[in-house]
Amino acid sequence: MRERSYHIITFGCQMNVHDSRWLGSVLQRRGFAESPLEDARVVVVNTCSVREKPEQKVMSALGRIRQATGGNPDVLVAVTGCVAQQLGEELFRQPQVRLVAGSDGMASAPQAIERLLEEPDLKLSLLDFTSRYEEREEGARGPSGPVAYVNIMQGCDNFCAYCIVPYTRGRQKSRRTAAVLEDCRRALEDGAREICLLGQNVNAFGRDKYGDGVSFADLLRQAAALPGLLRLRYVTPHPKDMGPEDVALFGELPALCPRLHLPLQAGSDAVLARMGRKYDAARFVELTDALRAARPDIALSTDLIVGFPGETEEDFQQTLALVRRCGFMSSFSFCYSDRPGTRASRFLDKIAPDVQQDRLLRLQALQEELGQDWLDARVGGETDVLIEGESRRDAGADGLKSWQGRDPYGALVHVGLPHAAGDMTGRMVRTRLVEAKKHSLLGQQAGEPW
């Protein structure tokens, strides 16, 4: 076991992945080295409360750590993120756990880890929500991947009936615009060509009491103007907060990709009202129509919950109809499950699991159809693919190596490129699309990489 070594296990959303990357880079700057689980002195489990059975997954991970490390008491285990915020100091009952850090406490985790290594009998909990967004320590600089993720806010003020985020990540706190843009500049200087802005409710940026007078639309304009930026994306917006100015930018900013993940959750007005989503089906359709008017080729994806308490078969049929009407190219869909402390967990009219599962399968069958139609329609056209790494697919011709990346619509594209070209990671390649697979596209090089 190396003394200053670490291993991070990450569950959940892109914000958690971003947090884990940040923590790893800061630990490296402090002299730590990334190591396999069985050799690490410090093991971090960065947790998520959104998906099913989050507590069980964390306990299972802690069990795997004990097994891999032989239960060595010198191994410092830290539990961070949403489940840490939710369970708090109960996690200290688990062997090896000596640090529990919630969403806001993550900023102080590097200092806490070093202190705990110096004081082996100490345990620390970092569970208080901060009064404003605390800017984080800069991590180790080095080559960036083709896509860089930049957090613009923390928390959420919406309190949807099913959602635990406001309880685990706190109320909304916007970052200072200058700090966001500086993170973007650093990423571009380190080699990124695409920036994705992150937040629980990005288009509410600046509307909380911590805002500095810059709206989300203005932030997008400033980010899009940064030297070296080829593509700009963001996740996740809330339909109730997406105004005409946000929509219009899809037709105004060349760097803003024609792809938007816009969570619907349900297509029934009765279910949406009970969820506390603050929009109805007509407003959602109006929004998607406006987006397509601003950018006719925009690709839309969404989130959907089936079997919400009280959902009838008629409600579910309305969801199917709205999914078809909006023509989503992909979606993340789940059966409803209780989250402790949320309003929906107290609703009595729960839907039977077998009914939930049947509805989920029908919804996913429809989405498979819509997604395949969208992919099939792309065949024969050309697109620009930002290469993210090697592909496991056969390149299909001698002298070619298979690479994969994303096009502006977020579609995964596999393309064969000459072996002699070397490492193509981070290069943009004009590609002719020749075949649609189940969840990806196959292409052939149609221009010189840049």
**CATH number for the domain including 28?**
3.40.50.12160
CA 260 to mean position of chain CA atoms = 13
Instruction: List the domain range (segments joined by +) for residue 278.
Output: 258-378
Output the pLDDT for position 51: 64
Please report, in angstroms and rounded to a whole number, the separation of the first and last CA atoms in the chain.
43
Domain end among 348, 378, 408: 378
Domain end among 215, 237, 257: 257
336 within some domain: yes
The number of C-alpha atoms within 13 Å of 157 and in the hemisphere containing its C-beta is: 15
133 within some domain: no
Residue 268 neighbours by CB under 8 Å, 6+ apart: 281, 311, 314, 315, 316, 318, 319
Q: Which residues pair with 388 in a beta bridge?
A: none
Yes or no: say if 50 and 332 are a contact pair by the CB < 8 Å rule.
Answer: no
CA 187/CA 184 separation, integer angstroms: 5
Output the pLDDT for position 293: 98
**264 in the same domain as 253:** no
Domain end among 323, 349, 378: 378
Query: What is each CA distance from 198 to 53, 164, 205, 323, 380, in whole angstroms?
Result: 25, 18, 10, 25, 33
48 within some domain: yes
Q: Where are the alpha helices (DSSP H) in 173-268?
A: 177-189, 216-224, 244-252
**293 in the same domain as 207:** no
135 within some domain: no
**339 in the same domain as 304:** yes
Strands (E), 210-325: 231-235, 259-261, 299-306
Output the pLDDT for position 53: 75
Yes or no: say if 242 and 289 are a contact pair by the CB < 8 Å rule.
Answer: no
* The pairing of beta strand 153-154 with beta strand 173-174: antiparallel
Number of Cβ within 10 Å of residue 368's Cβ equals: 13
**171 in the same domain as 120:** no
Query: What is each CA distance from 362 to 266, 305, 394, in whole angstroms?
Result: 14, 13, 33
Instruction: Map tokens 């819509």 to a residue.
Output: 370
Within the chain, which residues score under 50 in pLDDT? none
CA 278 to mean position of chain CA atoms = 23
**368 in the same domain as 395:** no
67 within some domain: yes
Number of Cβ within 10 Å of residue 375's Cβ equals: 21
418 within some domain: yes
For residue 406, give both structure tokens: 């994303």
**274 in the same domain as 251:** no
132 within some domain: no
**175 in the same domain as 92:** no
Residue-level length of the chain: 450
Output the pLDDT for position 434: 98
51 within some domain: yes
Q: What is the pTM of this model?
A: 0.91
**216 in the same domain as 117:** no
CATH number of the domain bearing residue 288: 3.30.750.200
CA 15/CA 434 separation, integer angstroms: 34
CA 175/CA 221 separation, integer angstroms: 16
Domain count of the chain?
Answer: 4
**298 in the same domain as 367:** yes
